[in-house]
Amino acid sequence: MKSRIFILIGPPGAGKGTQAKNIANLKDFVLISTGDLLRENVEKKTELGITAKSYMDKGELVPTELVARMIKANIKQNIGRNGFLFDGFPRDLAQNALLSEMLKEFNLDVDKVIYIDVKDEAIHERLTNRRICPKCKKVYHMKYNPPKHGELCDDCNVSLIIRDDDKIDVIKKRLEVYHKSTQPLVDYFEKSGRITKINGERTPKEVEGEIISNI
Ligand code: AP5
C-alpha cells in the first residue's frame, strides 16, 4: 500500500501542533513534527540538540542538512504505513525540493498541503499564553484551552512550562523568518494548486473538522 503524504503549514502559533497530533491519531498517520523532534534532541542534549538550540533560541531556522537527516530516518522507519503528516517541514523552497527528492526515493509524492491561516495580530496572544506539559508535551492555552487546575497538566499533574522560544523578541523573529522563508513556499504551493487554505481563527474543533474533510 502506498503511503499518503500531507503537509501542515502556517505561521508560528497557527495551531499546527495542536491539529497535527489529533489528526495523526484520528487517521492513523505517522506524525513527523520537526519542532518536536528537535526539542526532544535539545532535552536529551544530543549533539544535534546542542547545535539546534542555538538557532531555536534565536528564532532562526536550524540548518537544513541537520533537519533533513532526521526526516529521512523517520520516513525510512515508517515506510508502508497508512500515511505521513508533516508539521513544520518543509519550511522553505530548498527544504521542499529536498523533501520531493526523498519521497521520490521511496516512490511517494505529496498528496495535499493544508495551510492554516492565522493573521500576525492573533499570533502574539496565542504564543504568549501557550503552556506545555514537560512530561506528556500536551499543549494548553491559558485563555482558550486552560488546564483544569492552576498551571498543572490535567493528565500528569506536573507544572506546565513556557517554551524557550515563546519570549516576545523571539516570537517577533520567528514571524520575520516565516514571512521571509516560508511565505514564498506557501505562494509556490498556491500556484501549483495543491494547497487548501483553512481559516485558523476559529475554535480548534472547527479547524479540525475542516482539515479532516479535506484529507
Ligand atoms: P516549531 O515547533 O515547528 O514552531 P512553529 O512553526 O513556530 O510553530 P509553533 O509550534 O510555535 O506553533 P503551532 O502552529 O504548532 O501552534 P500550537 O498548536 O502550539 O519550530 C520551532 C523551532 O524549531 C523553529 O523556530 C526552528 O528554529 C526549528 N525548526 C523546526 N522545524 C524546522 C525546519 N523544518 N527547518 C529548520 N528549523 C526548524 O498553538 C499555539 C497556541 O495557540 C497554543 O497555546 C494552543 O493551545 C493555541 N491554539 C491552537 N489552536 C487554536 C485555536 N484554533 N484557537 C485558539 N487558540 C489555539
CB within 8 Å of 83: residues ≥ 6 apart: 3, 4, 5, 6, 27, 28, 29, 30
pLDDT at 80 over 90: no
Q: Give the pLDDT score at 143.
A: 94
What average pLDDT does range 156-174 have in this prediction? 96
Q: Does residue 54 lie in a domain region? A: yes
Percent of the chain with pLDDT over 90: 93
Predicted structure pTM score: 0.96
Structural domain total, the chain: 1
Residues in Cβ contact with 108 at an 8 Å cutoff, skipping those fewer than 6 apart: 2, 3, 5
* Residue 96 maps to a domain: yes
The one-letter code for the residue type at 112 is: K
Q: Which of 123, 95, 134, 103 is nearest to 16 (CA)?
A: 123
* Residues in contact with ligand 1 (CB, 6 Å cut-off): 10, 12-18, 34-35, 38, 55-56, 59-62, 67, 88-89, 91, 95, 126, 130, 139-141, 144-145, 165, 174, 200, 203-204, 207
Tell me whether residue 153 is in a domain. Answer: no
What domain range includes position 113?
Answer: 4-118+177-213
Average pLDDT, the chain: 95
Residue closest by Cα to atom 26 of ligand 1? 61
Q: Are 13 and 126 in contact (CB under 8 A)?
A: yes
Q: What pLDDT sits at residue 146?
A: 96
The answer to the question of residue 154 being in a domain is: no
Position 203 in a domain = yes
Distance 111 CA to ligand 1 centre (A): 22
pLDDT, tens digit (0-9, with 9 covering 90-100), for 99-132: 999 999 999 999 999 999 999 999 999 999 999 9
Which CATH number do you get for residue 43? 3.40.50.300
Answer whether residue 1 shows pLDDT above 90: no
Residue 161 is predicted with a pLDDT of 96
The answer to the question of residue 126 being in a domain is no
The answer to whether residue 169 sits within a structural domain is: no
